[in-house]
Amino acid sequence: MSAGAGSERIVGILLAGGSATRFGSDKLLHPLPDGTPIAVASVRNLIAAVPRVLAVVRPGAPELERALRAAGAEVTVCDRAAEGMGVTLAHAVRAAGAAVGWVVALADMPFIRPDTIRLIAAAIASDGAIAAPDYHGERGHPVGFAGKFRAALEQLAGDAGAREIVKANPSAVVRVEVDDSGVVRDIDTPADLSRG
């Protein structure tokens, strides 16, 4: 792996604990045009880029759990996932244990290239920073956090995710320029599957 020193201890976290109410059905298991479920495509990209991936799911999603495990991820269930993304991310960081850092990806963003994820992992491994891809001036996902942000990540609550940590540490944020539109392309509704 060419992601740089320390990147072998970067943990990929896939946030797959949402309820996807806007989609109208089980979004994360909905097939892409090639038949791959959305969450499985997302986790495969993460697994291709970092050596260890932990997916966090809500309770009562056994089919999603099975699919993510079959793809090669470790899976943890967050009993409080309904409280929001911040709670889910805090749970995942605690469950992951010791790490140089975490690359946090969203399960409804299946179009991010593994090379992009590797660049984010390399940035946090070498700079001890918060790293995010920048696509034509727009900040995207996944977002990487160096190990020094562990306590802040573990204390997250609510649905804002790690946005407040990013806002509170502007000097630590490294924007990595990428030519990968997948970093800003999430799927909220079935119509999003057809827009490129």
pLDDT band at 1 (very low <50, low <70, confident <90, very high): very low
Q: Where are the alpha helices (DSSP H) in the chain?
A: 38-47, 62-71, 85-96, 114-127, 150-154, 163-168
Domains of the chain: 9-181 (3.90.550.10)
pLDDT at 161: 79
Higher-confidence position of 191 and 71: 71
> What does the radius of gyration of the chain's CA atoms come to, in whole angstroms?
15
Q: Over pLDDT 70: what percentage of the chain?
A: 91
pLDDT at 3: 41
pLDDT band at 173 (very low <50, low <70, confident <90, very high): very high
The model carries a pTM of 0.92
Closest of 102, 144, 117 to residue 42, by C-alpha = 117
pLDDT at 21: 56
Distance CA 76, CA 147 (A): 20
Look at residue 47 and tell me whether its pLDDT is greater than 80.
yes
- Tens digits of per-residue pLDDT, 130-148? 999 999 999 999 999 999 9
- Tens digits of per-residue pLDDT, 62-99? 999 999 999 999 999 999 999 999 999 999 999 998 89
- Please say whether the dihedral angle defined by the alpha carbons of residues 102, 118, 61 and 19, taken in this order, is positive or negative: positive
